[in-house]
Amino acid sequence: MGPRMRVAFLYPGQGTQRPGMLHDLPDHPAVAATLAEAERILPGSSRQDGAQALTSTVTAQVALCVAGVAAANALAHEGATPDAVAGHSIGAFPAAVAAGALTFAEALPAVRRRGELMRDAFPSGYGMAAVLGLGVLQVRRLVESITTGDDPAYVAVVDADQQVVVSGSVRALHRLAAAAAACGARRVQLLDIGVPSHCPLLGHVADAMADHLATVPRRALAVPYLSNSTGRLLHDADAVLDDLARAVAATVRWRDITALLGELGTTLFVQAPPGHVLARIARAAHPQARVVALEDTGVADAALLARRARQREGLSHRP
């Protein structure tokens, strides 16, 4: 067995965006440089984080990509590098930049294209809802019971054993909320996402993204990347770029990603901004590990933890 993957960087997805998220990024020279680069690549992308702007699927996804890359660059500037990276939904794009499969200049236009395709596919009447407190199989049965030809619904994201997100028509999601409440769900929450992500309804978006990413040069990965669609480690750029395209129409297997990182010996999870959603999931799954959100811990302290974790791995492998 090779060296353990002690340090994992996690990148959150759509639904975690909040007003001011780019302006609130750490005051760090690498963050400032990333924001300046974002402006050169996609003018306006470093500033559009107001409440109204973030109601746009396109703007929210671009902002999340910028925030994730800025965070990774700041940590790298402080000498902190991961042993593995994973991104939730759109967070997979900054994860792919950190892994070396994409450059920032390739990622931002791809993210904008993805957001535009998703927005145009279902401009109204569709969305996503989180079901908390019911098991995955129970949610699947409920989804089957409330789905009709005119109002489809699909299990879209499995974040944890009792944290499942469903995509579909808003009418189907309202029926799901009532059915789940009757079955004892702790909470059903309609998410601030206006498209039915991670289900077969977006199959044509996945095809278009595969065509777009086919033009990206293939490079050797610097860091292993965990797939949204399979929950497994990927070690080559072809597989990563295929995952970036296809995952938009496939269930996100975040529970499997979190579990695998524990099996691989991860002792430190660092979540990029914004928020703490992925940090909370990792903490619940692996209470013995150190879990930090960069938003709370700060760049210098998170980088110090990462350097120490990797130094311990090096010491453990000395003859």
Tell me the DSSP string of 67-105: HHHHHHHHHHHTT---SEEEE-GGGHHHHHHHHTSS-HH
Residue 235 sits in the same domain as residue 290: yes
Residue 107 sits in the same domain as residue 232: yes
- State the CATH number of the domain containing residue 160: 3.30.70.250
Last residue of a domain, one of 155, 176, 194: 194
Residue 2 belongs to a domain: no
- State the CATH number of the domain containing residue 24: 3.40.366.10
Residue 1 belongs to a domain: no
Q: How many helices (H) and strands (E) does the chain have?
A: 12, 10
pLDDT tens track of the chain, all 319 residues? Answer: 455 789 999 999 998 999 999 999 999 999 999 999 999 999 999 999 999 999 999 999 999 999 999 999 999 999 999 999 999 999 999 999 999 999 999 999 999 999 999 999 987 899 999 999 999 999 999 999 999 999 999 999 999 999 999 999 999 999 999 999 999 999 999 998 889 999 999 999 999 999 999 999 999 999 999 999 999 999 999 999 999 999 999 999 999 999 999 999 999 999 999 999 999 999 999 999 999 999 999 999 999 999 999 887 654 443 4
Structural domain of 311: 7-121+201-316
Residue 20 sits in the same domain as residue 61: yes
Residue 46 belongs to a domain: yes
Number of domains present in the structure of the chain: 2
How far is it, in rounded angstroms, from Cα 313 to Cα 4? 7
